[in-house]
Amino acid sequence: MATEIKVTVDTVAFSVEQGVLEVLLVKRKFDPFKSNWALPGGFVDEADTTLDQAAARELKEETSVSDVFLEQLYTFGDRGRDPRGRTISVAYLALLRQQEFELRASSDASGVAWWPVNELPQLAFDHHEIVGYAHKRLKYKIEYSPAAFSLIAAKFTLRDLQLVYESVLSRAVDNRNFRKKFLNTGVLEELDETTQEGSFRPARLYSFSEDRFEKLPDRPVFVF
Amino acid sequence: MATEIKVTVDTVAFSVEQGVLEVLLVKRKFDPFKSNWALPGGFVDEADTTLDQAAARELKEETSVSDVFLEQLYTFGDRGRDPRGRTISVAYLALLRQQEFELRASSDASGVAWWPVNELPQLAFDHHEIVGYAHKRLKYKIEYSPAAFSLIAAKFTLRDLQLVYESVLSRAVDNRNFRKKFLNTGVLEELDETTQEGSFRPARLYSFSEDRFEKLPDRPVFVF
DNA sequence: ACAAAAGTGTTGCTACTACACCCATGA
DNA sequence: TCATGGGTGTAGTAGCAACACTTTTGT
């Protein structure tokens, strides 16, 4: 009965770069699926005290990304998903900003790179399914949680924020209504700074106020 | 590295009985936690082709409940949650109607019973935390999915339906608005039958139309 | 003056909340 | 006729969708 099973943690890390939703992948150096791209992840270790911590550790080891939004997603465990034998994968969702990290591949990998979610290469194992699932969950998540703010810098313009919504949802949103509604939620702090990006009008910067979010009588819904 | 870890599936099965949300528990016959109440579940087996199937198998073996709504919830894997050694538990949510099953304990258990979610006994392992998590998820779930219909008979009165919402959400809802809004969603089929339950006006019966639900241009939201 | 992105206001409509009473039935 | 749960209507309000033009800046 108590079959021993191998357990991995694999992370779907998203970022938005110039209005494009991208996923962090590593290129495998060893079999199985040698030289295929895959999600960063690996086996849970005796030393890991929690699964969350195991996912964070693997992500850091394989890509050098650390200290980011990380949340458990779903566990994939169909027999046959790993040719080496029964392995279940606890999948994680990560949200981050590319500019904050310099990618560095581990010795197990021959590469690390960001791939647009709509132009993914062939992926190892059932990782394509995992990415699809993560994307679907992210679409819900930005509508009822402040997840979008994990994808942009601490100071951002309303346009930055809108680009996150548009790239995650894969559709345009009306910018007048977007601004009105987001400002109305009361979670944005208007800063006394503006951008200065080119030969056009500078944009006001905002920050997300966790405090204000927590203090609202009802959770706002970020649906556009 | 590739530590072998034991994997269990444990199910939080909910039902609503006379306006009370209840959880299905089994009483353990063996150590650890001998004679404590626990969630039905057990080790994933070599023969299980999927985790979903493993959860269904364990639920049936331990309580005789089968063919019910069953969905993966979350995976609990903190080191130390099982005194026997590293064990992770893939938790499942089940929704069902008590009257459809006659409970029968397995030989591993000295009892099976429904417990009101607000009056739970001490539970084995971290099962109390798992139940709490499942309840929280169920509260969301009935608001954006037709999950509530898995908790009542195929033919039901609007009152039955309302009792499901009230017991899951732990609060009263305005019955005028509840009826109006639910009828407006277009997912209910009005039947030509009524109940006949006592010395008062009989109630009209309805059924949930999966078809109508699927065909709606936008998913209705069941928020009251 | 032009190119580029920032920023804004109104109207119509839908859908929600809040609220209290009459109806049908069997005993 | 009473007790019990079944069933309904309205008015006010809030918030949404749809829609196009003006502003600011650097070159």
Domain spans of chain B? 6-143, 146-215
Q: Which residues of B touch A7 (CB under 8 A)?
A: 3, 5, 7, 77, 88
What contacts A151, CB < 8 A, 6 or more positions away?
A14, A15, A16, A95, A96, A97, A164, A168
Q: What is the pLDDT of residue A64?
A: 97
Tell me the C-alpha distance between A164 and B13, whole Å.
38
The answer to whether residue A2 scores a pLDDT higher than 70 is no
DSSP H helical segments within B28-79, as ranges?
51-63
Fold of A146-215: Arc Repressor Mutant, subunit A (1.10.10)
Distance B159 CA to D10 C1' (A): 23
Q: Give B108's pLDDT tier (boundaries 50, 70, 90).
A: confident
Say if CB A97 and CB A142 are below 8 A apart. no
Q: Could you say which of B3, B48, B50 has the minimum Cβ distance to residue A44?
A: B3
Mean pLDDT of all residues belonging to chain B:
96
Tell me the C-alpha distance between B13 and B122, whole Å.
17
Say if CB A190 and CB A161 are below 8 A apart. no
Q: What is the pLDDT of residues A88-117, one digit of tens each?
A: 999 999 999 999 999 999 988 999 999 999
Tell me the C-alpha distance between B102 and A42, whole Å.
43
The answer to whether residue A1 scores a pLDDT higher than 60 is no
Q: What is the pLDDT of residues B45-91, one digit of tens each?
A: 999 999 999 999 999 999 999 999 999 999 999 999 999 999 999 99
Tell me the C-alpha distance between A31 and B20, whole Å.
53
Q: Enumerate the nucleotides of strand D whose atoms come under 7 Å of any protein CB.
A: 3-10, 16-20, 23-27
- In this complex, the answer to whether residue A19 has its CB under 7 A from any atom of chain C, a nucleic strand, is no
Residue position matching structure tokens 């290129």: A27
Tell me the C-alpha distance between A22 and A119, whole Å.
9
Tell me the C-alpha distance between A113 and A24, whole Å.
6
Q: What is the pLDDT of residues A112-122, one digit of tens each?
A: 999 999 999 99
Residue numbers in A 154-183, CB below 7 Å of strand C: 157-159, 175-177, 179-180
- This prediction has a pTM of 0.95
Say if CB A152 and CB A97 are below 8 A apart. yes
Between chains, do B78 and A51 touch, taking CB under 8 Å as contact? yes
Q: What is the pLDDT of residue A92?
A: 99
Q: What is the pLDDT of residue A196?
A: 86
CA B59, chain centre distance (Å): 12
Q: What is the pLDDT of residues A139-182, one digit of tens each?
A: 999 999 999 999 999 999 999 999 999 999 999 999 999 999 99
Q: Which residues of A touch B86 (CB under 8 A)?
A: 46
For A118-150, b/e burial (b = at least 16 CB within 10 A) is eebeebbbbbeebbebbbebbeebbbeebbbbb
What is the distance in angstroms between the Cα of A45 and the nearest Cα belonging to chain B? 6
Q: What is the pLDDT of residue B39?
A: 98
The answer to whether residue B120 scores a pLDDT higher than 60 is yes
The answer to whether residue B158 scores a pLDDT higher than 60 is yes
- In this complex, the answer to whether residue A196 has its CB under 7 A from any atom of chain C, a nucleic strand, is no
Q: Give B2's pLDDT tier (boundaries 50, 70, 90).
A: low
Choose the CATH number for A6-143 among 3.90.79.10, 3.30.70.260, 3.30.70.580, 3.40.50.300: 3.90.79.10
Q: Could you say which of B5, B44, B72 has the minimum Cβ distance to residue A74?
A: B72
Three-state DSSP at B220 gives coil
Q: Which residues of A touch B6 (CB under 8 A)?
A: 2-5
- Could you tell me whether strands A4-17 and A87-95 are parallel, antiparallel, or unpaired per DSSP bridges? parallel
Rounded mean pLDDT, B160-181: 97
Rounded mean pLDDT, B176-197: 95
Write phi, then psi, for B130 (nearest 5 degrees): -65, -40
Q: What is the DSSP letter of B130?
A: H
Q: What is the pLDDT of residues A39-69, one digit of tens each?
A: 999 999 999 999 999 999 999 999 999 999 9
What contacts A22, CB < 8 A, 6 or more positions away?
A14, A15, A16, A98, A114, A115, A116, A117
Q: What is the pLDDT of residues A178-217, one digit of tens each?
A: 999 999 999 999 999 999 888 999 999 999 999 999 999 8
The chain B residue lying nearest A90, using CA atoms, is B75
What is the distance in angstroms between the Cα of B205 and the nearest Cα belonging to chain A? 34
